[in-house]
Homo-oligomer: A and B are copies of this chain.
Amino acid sequence: MTSTRPTPHAANALRERFGAVRAESLSLASPLSAEDQCIQSMPDASPTKWHLAHTTWFFETVLLQVHATGYHAFDPRFHYLFNSYYEALGPRHPRPQRGLLTRPSHDEVLAYRAHVDAAVERLLDAPGDADWDAVASVVTLGMHHEQQHQELLVTDILHAFSCNPLLPAYRPAGAPALRLASAPQPMRWCPRPGGLVEIGHAGEGFAFDNETPRHTALLQPHAMADRLVTCGDFAQFIADGGYQRPDLWLSDGWAAVKAQGWRAPAYWLDADDPRLAHQGSVAGGWQVFGLNGVRPLDRAAPVAQLSLYEAAAYAEWAGARLPTEFEWEAALADPAVTQMTGHVWQWTRSSYDPYPGFRPMPGVAAEYNGKFMVGQVVLRGSSLATPDGHVRPSYRNFFPPAARWQFSGLRLAKDL
């Protein structure tokens, strides 16, 4: 096979984009101290420093060690430390112990990033005999991989801070919070037709394997809510005893409510929460912990930090249901349906199953998506923490139904 060669324009564009994505990770970490960046508050979350290192490891392992002749690993021990879950790439540090890695230090991880960045840039500048198409493809995958970790970096540190009785703010209180409008309109139902629709990714641009192949799906006629469920809506559910009525809940959800003592979304605080005593003057009613610290509940903001169980219970209470991921994707083109992206991920009523004809990406990336296709649920859209340019209409996010630490909310649908 003859090696491909890039056009100067394509190489420049890729290099620029690579630099921007890499810089964004550091920017997201910048409000955090080295201590902050080191901790892991639960096995499902990872330290900021680990995110910074693991995304670098990905470029080193999948790109440089394969395509960059003469590349010298920054530290061979990192191969073990910063593998996440790639069985094909050998053993790895246990996930629940990522928070114990005070060494390598924060500074060493920054040096690791710089070392790898320089090598990637050298490769993009002068690919030599390397197969450019393969290089570009892996760099692109690595950037999308890093963007996924950028969102996790934010939600993971927010979870860690939520475990600190001081409830520190990730960013200054003056920064814009998660909200939409000071007075949301009453929700309206948008009728949506049944019929055959095309679902999934096709064409030139990047997509993850789980969005493919594009295929035809059959919808039944239904209606979709024109906006997200708000905190004000959800407060009504709570006030109506939503967390005390087993008939509203999936069986596993009700078990979680009782075992975990859930009474509200993950970061809502009762007015009498002792942690509020030192938060300055606080009005009565619900307070919500978020990226700006603790703030009074904003009834207009979309509700977030919900498990699938809570989303489904709310929908049942509202006499509606969650949309399927196919209904959601089809509705994206409907101008009457708003708030589809940029606010909160939206739980769907679709389990995370493979599309007809699905095959994993070849090579190490085969482990990227397909092996998680059981026991999880699809979320669609994107959130305020999703990096610009990361998502597509066909994007499938997925989490276990009990996960509550994401910017995950819901929109209603119903049968017609």
Contact of A103 among B81, B85, B168 (CB under 8 A): B168
From residue A9, how far is it (CB to closest CB) to chain B in Å? 38
**Overall SS of chain A's interface:** mixed
Within 8 Å of chain B (Cβ to Cβ): is A3? no
Contact A41 B105 (CB under 8 A): no
Q: Given the known A-B contacts A77-B166, A252-B375, A401-B374, are A102 and B357 also in contact in the complex, defined by CB atoms under 8 Å? A: no
Residues of B within 8 A of A106 (CB): 35
Q: How far is the CA of A97 from the CA of B312 in the complex (A)?
A: 30
Residues of B within 8 A of A367 (CB): 247
Contact A251 B218 (CB under 8 A): no
Within 8 Å of chain B (Cβ to Cβ): is A308? yes
Contact B349 A350 (CB under 8 A): no
Within 8 Å of chain B (Cβ to Cβ): is A36? yes
Within 8 Å of chain B (Cβ to Cβ): is A142? no
Contact A278 B308 (CB under 8 A): no
Nearest B residue to A322 via CB reads B354
Residues of B within 8 A of A99 (CB): 39, 99
Nearest B residue to A415 via CB reads B357
Q: How far is the CA of A131 from the CA of B194 in the complex (A)?
A: 39
Residues of B within 8 A of A160 (CB): 100, 102
Within 8 Å of chain B (Cβ to Cβ): is A139? no
Could you tell me which residues of chain A, from 251 to 283, have a CB within 8 Å of some CB in chain B?
251-254, 274, 278
Contact B100 A39 (CB under 8 A): yes
Contact A166 B100 (CB under 8 A): no
Contact A377 B374 (CB under 8 A): yes
Q: A88-B246, A251-B372 are known contacts; what are 17 more A-B pairs with Cβ within 8 Å?
A: A33-B105, A35-B102, A38-B38, A77-B165, A81-B166, A87-B246, A91-B274, A102-B160, A104-B166, A196-B218, A217-B218, A247-B366, A253-B374, A308-B374, A350-B353, A351-B353, A356-B415
